[in-house]
Structures are given as C-alpha cells and as structure tokens.
Amino acid sequence: MIVYSLRCAKGHAFDEWFASGNEYDKMAADGALSCPECGDTNVVKAIMAPRVSSGTGGEVAAEPSCGSCAQEGACPWAA
C-alpha cells in the first residue's frame, strides 16, 4: 500500500491509499479519483511532504519502491 497526498482543483488537500503507484495512475486516468470535500474529479498528486514528528526525533521516510528494474542486482533500491 502507498499513500499519496492529493489535491483537487479547488485546493482541498487529502490523502488517499492505493495498492500501488500503478493503481493511482489507473484511477487517475479513469477519473475515478474525487475530492472528499467537494467531489471534484480534477485531482492531482500533491508534492509529497515528509512526515516529521516533532519532539521524538522520529522521521518516517517512505520506502522507495521499484517496479521497473529489469536487471536483478543492478537496482539501486535493492541494495
């Protein structure tokens, strides 16, 4: 599962979970994404802001995922 920060054309920001990045692409292409506040289907991916928790010093970084590497062992994410 992957969470994307999305934003509608009216500026409402919200998070949506997807099974994968491809799932997001497919839903976006089908116009299946809509703003929970106003129902606008003109939704775009907002810039991902890192989630920083203040005080505990614990930052949660998203794991990079690779779906396009054809060469096993050459993937920079596999190290």
The site for Zn ion (CB under 5 A) is made up of 8, 10, 12, 35, 37-38, 40
Nearer to Zn ion, 13 or 69 (CB): 13
User: Do the Cβ atoms of 46 and 6 come closer than 8 Å?
Assistant: yes
Give least dist CB 46 to Zn ion, A: 12
Give least dist CB 6 to Zn ion, A: 10
24, two tokens: 């997001």
Pick from 78, 76, 73, 40: nearest CA to 14 = 40
Say which amino acid occupies 5. S
Nearer to Zn ion, 20 or 41 (CB): 41
48, two tokens: 């991902």
Nearer to Zn ion, 38 or 75 (CB): 38
